């Protein structure tokens, strides 16, 4: 078995990298896959709270890299999904405690026994980002339909290409379809046209993401929420399934299409 | 209602449309790392070199960056001076 390494990154902070990593982990593990989530955001640990595993941390990523514990000792098993594990980030160290080759070595060890290794990258384009993408087979760039997030995503996509780690796959998070319909938010089509990159996920804005994070139970555990469904669709696409982008169709519904016909493209 | 009137008069530009147009320009400059000033300089030098070989209309030369997928293209439109004008000169 040779597992695949997926790095979730973004450039800009706060667009939903950690949420995406946690939910993708949950979605893949609920399909029976063996998954390890690695928090590479050293010093700003968060994947543990989003997954609801913060009370069970003994060792962390830096302990593994510096040889204070064995890999297995730093892996926290999720009680809801026995095939889901977390390697938490160190909270009291900084990014320089880990090198890109440390990450490659760690992931090569994990690949032997697990199907998917998901790395939650820190924001930015410095050392932490380099660490996170070094072992990646697939890089997912998370963005929001908003100018600063799109600009930073473009920068990151360029860096990923320069490192020959491309093509990046795009996840557009927090889409408010009602605002898109009014022409007051960039649509998924707009973002795709600007970034010219392959799409792998469209996540609607969904209050369930906040309430589920409050509980430490990722939204993908909940079968009914829209965002949870969207994350599960990404997991299916990673398996090569052709899953339609439901939200796109939603935005281009009868009203949206009518509005586009009536309203001239260029505006005033 | 105001929005409908604006829209009927063609006055309104939705913020998403505006964002998209702004981002197109910003991304082109981010990707190529060429500032508008450098573009002007490039244009002046191009005009100089081409003028050595063929008569052109320097004031009508247009140089712009265009996006083609994730590739950028430098497009130059350089009108040549017409034969008659050249004779007059």
Number of A to B CB contacts under 8 A, please give it.
62
ipTM surpasses 0.90: no
Residues B85 and B43 in one domain: yes
Chain A contact probe: residue of B2, B10, B20 with most A CBs at under 10 A: B20
Calculate how close chain B gets to A266, using CA atoms only, in Å.
8
**Comparing C-alpha atoms, which of A163, A171, A126, A166 is closest to residue A8?**
A171
Beta strand A138-143 with A4-9: parallel, antiparallel or unpaired? parallel
- Residue B14's domain comprises 1-33
d(C-alpha A55, C-alpha B12), whole Å: 53
A36: domain CATH number is 3.40.50.300
pLDDT for res A249: 44
pLDDT for res A178: 95
Position A267 pLDDT exceeds 80: no
A149-168 per-position pLDDT tens digit: 999 999 999 999 999 998 99
Instruction: Let me know: does A156 contact A168? Beta carbons within 8 Å.
Output: yes
Chain A contact probe: residue of B8, B23, B24, B69 with most A CBs at under 10 A: B23
Contact assignment for B14 to A267 by CB distance below 8 Å: yes
Residues B14 and B54 in one domain: no
For the segment A163-184, the average pLDDT, to the nearest whole number, is 95
- Chain A residues whose CB is inside 8 A of the B12 CB are 267-268
Number of domain units in chain B: 2
- The 10 Å Cβ neighbour count of residue A165 is 16
Position A268 pLDDT exceeds 60: no
B3-51 per-position pLDDT tens digit: 565 656 555 689 999 999 999 989 988 888 888 888 889 999 999 999 9
pTM of the model: 0.85
**Comparing C-alpha atoms, which of B81, B74, B89, B88 is closest to residue B53?**
B81
Does some domain include residue A73? yes
Beta-bridged to residue B62, according to DSSP, are B77
Contact assignment for B16 to A161 by CB distance below 8 Å: no
Contact assignment for B16 to A190 by CB distance below 8 Å: yes
Number of domain units in chain A: 1
């Amino acid at each position: 078995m040779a597992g695949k390494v997926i790095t979730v990154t973004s450039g800009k902070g706060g667009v939903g990298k950690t949420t995406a990593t946690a939910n993708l982990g949950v979605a893949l593990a609920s399909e029976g896959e063996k998954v390890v989530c690695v928090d590479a955001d050293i010093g700003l640990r968060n994947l543990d709270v989003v997954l609801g595993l913060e009370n069970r941390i003994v060792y962390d990523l830096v302990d593994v890299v510096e040889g204070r514990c064995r890999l297995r000792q730093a892996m926290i098993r999720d009680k809801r999904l026995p095939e889901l594990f977390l390697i938490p980030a160190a909270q009291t160290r900084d990014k320089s405690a880990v090198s890109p080759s440390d990450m490659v070595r760690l992931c090569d060890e994990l690949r032997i026994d697990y199907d998917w290794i998901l790395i939650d990258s820190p924001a930015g384009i410095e050392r932490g980002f380099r660490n996170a993408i070094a072992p990646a087979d697939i890089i997912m760039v998370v963005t929001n339909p908003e100018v600063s997030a799109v600009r930073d995503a473009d920068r990151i996509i360029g860096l990923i290409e320069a490192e020959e780690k491309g093509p990046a796959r795009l996840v557009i998070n927090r889409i408010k379809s009602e605002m898109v319909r009014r022409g007051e938010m960039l649509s998924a089509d707009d973002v795709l046209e600007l970034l010219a990159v392959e799409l792998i996920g469209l996540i609607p804005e969904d209050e369930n993401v906040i309430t589920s994070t409050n509980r430490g139970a990722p939204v993908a555990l909940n079968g009914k929420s829209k965002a949870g469904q969207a994350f599960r669709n990404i997991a299916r696409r990673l398996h090569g399934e052709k899953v339609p982008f439901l939200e796109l169709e939603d935005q281009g519904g009868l009203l949206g299409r009518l509005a586009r016909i009536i309203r001239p493209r260029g505006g005033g | 209602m105001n929005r409908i009137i604006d829209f009927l008069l063609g006055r309104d530009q939705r913020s998403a449309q505006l964002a998209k147009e702004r981002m197109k320009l910003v991304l082109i400059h981010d990707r190529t790392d060429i500032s508008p000033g450098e573009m002007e300089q490039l244009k002046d030098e191009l005009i100089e070199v081409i003028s050595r070989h063929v008569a052109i209309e320097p004031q009508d030369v247009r140089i712009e960056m265009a996006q083609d997928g994730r590739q950028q293209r430098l497009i130059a439109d350089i009108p040549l001076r017409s034969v008659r004008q050249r004779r007059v000169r």
